[in-house]
Amino acid sequence: MAGETVELMADSEPGAGDFPVADCGDCSRVVLVHLWMADDGEESHRCIHCDTVLADVRWVGEGELGEHGYAEITQDAGCGRPDCGRGRCGSG
């Protein structure tokens, strides 16, 4: 990896609000990906669930995350109760 030139797929460049995903054989699903940097500086893309090293990372928009089992969280949604105070549950 370090010092290698990697050709990226056409849809592998991130845009604003995009998330890296890849197929994980160990999890048997499309997963979110995180970047791992070893002590020697070598980088690898890994599954956010099991840390398996992954290839063919692609970028998807926030709207596509639900298709892969990830929920969209909005800051103003609160806890779902009609009287939600947005973050003050249990206080008072």
In a domain, 45, yes or no: yes
Answer with the residue of higher pLDDT: 44 or 8: 44
In a domain, 82, yes or no: no
In a domain, 38, yes or no: yes
In a domain, 5, yes or no: no
In a domain, 57, yes or no: yes
In a domain, 74, yes or no: no
DSSP line for 35-92: EEE-TTS-EEEEETTT--EE-S-EEEEGGGGGGGT-----TTSTTS-TT--SS-TT--
CA distance 75 to 80: 12
In a domain, 29, yes or no: yes
Considering the entire predicted model, what is its pTM?
0.63
Question: What's the pLDDT score for residue 33?
Answer: 96
User: What residues pair up with 61 in beta bridges, in sequence order?
Assistant: 18
pLDDT tens digits, 54-75: 999 999 998 898 899 987 666 6
Q: Specify whether the CB–CB gap between 33 and 44 falls below 8 A.
A: no
Question: What's the pLDDT score for residue 45?
Answer: 95
Q: Which domain holds residue 61?
A: 10-68
The mean pLDDT value for 86-90 works out to 62
Answer with the residue of higher pLDDT: 18 or 85: 18
How many domains, in total, are found in the chain?
A: 1
Q: Looking at the predicted structure, is the pLDDT value of residue 4 above 60? A: no
